[in-house]
């Protein structure tokens, strides 16, 4: 998202859900949004910032999706290939001030992959729920 978009989010939104950002980038975006909200005489509640995080193998489709949105950025910095890595990335996002997470397959779960993804999600991510 551009700085102009982040400023608009601060002026007009009730929250923000980013994607294809590292924890540090997401934290900087949150700060820009909060600053814009303050300038507009508004406040966005602290727990209204989140990120969409893909989990799964880095496939050619993943690389293509990242390159369309973030040319030159290593897809491994924006997606998690394992559930342990997803947990570590989420901890980084929490440290950056985010509290909402959309955890999704890194690539479309065509065929029978979605039930397994959901089972793995429950096993590995449910303990992080607060």
Residues 6+ apart with CB under 8 A from 10: 32, 33, 34, 35, 36, 37, 38, 39, 40, 42, 44
Residue 110 is predicted with a pLDDT of: 62
Residue ranges of domains in the chain = 3-128
pLDDT in tens, 51-88: 999 998 888 988 888 899 999 999 999 999 999 999 99
Residue 112 is predicted with a pLDDT of: 61
CATH class name, domain 3-128: alpha beta
Mean local confidence (pLDDT), 121-129: 84
């Amino acid at each position: 998202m551009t700085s102009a978009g982040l400023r608009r989010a601060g002026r007009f939104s009730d929250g923000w859900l980013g994607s294809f950002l590292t924890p540090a980038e997401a934290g900087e975006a949150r700060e820009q949004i909060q600053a814009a909200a303050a300038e507009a005489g508004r406040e966005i509640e602290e727990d209204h910032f989140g990120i969409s995080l893909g989990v799964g193998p880095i496939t050619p489709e993943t690389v293509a999706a990242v390159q369309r949105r973030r040319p030159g950025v290593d897809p491994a910095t924006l997606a998690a290939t394992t559930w342990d890595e997803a947990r570590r990335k989420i901890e980084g996002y929490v440290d950056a001030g985010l509290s909402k997470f959309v955890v999704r397959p890194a690539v479309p779960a065509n065929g029978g992959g979605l039930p397994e993804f959901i089972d793995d999600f429950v096993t590995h991510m449910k303990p992080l729920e607060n």
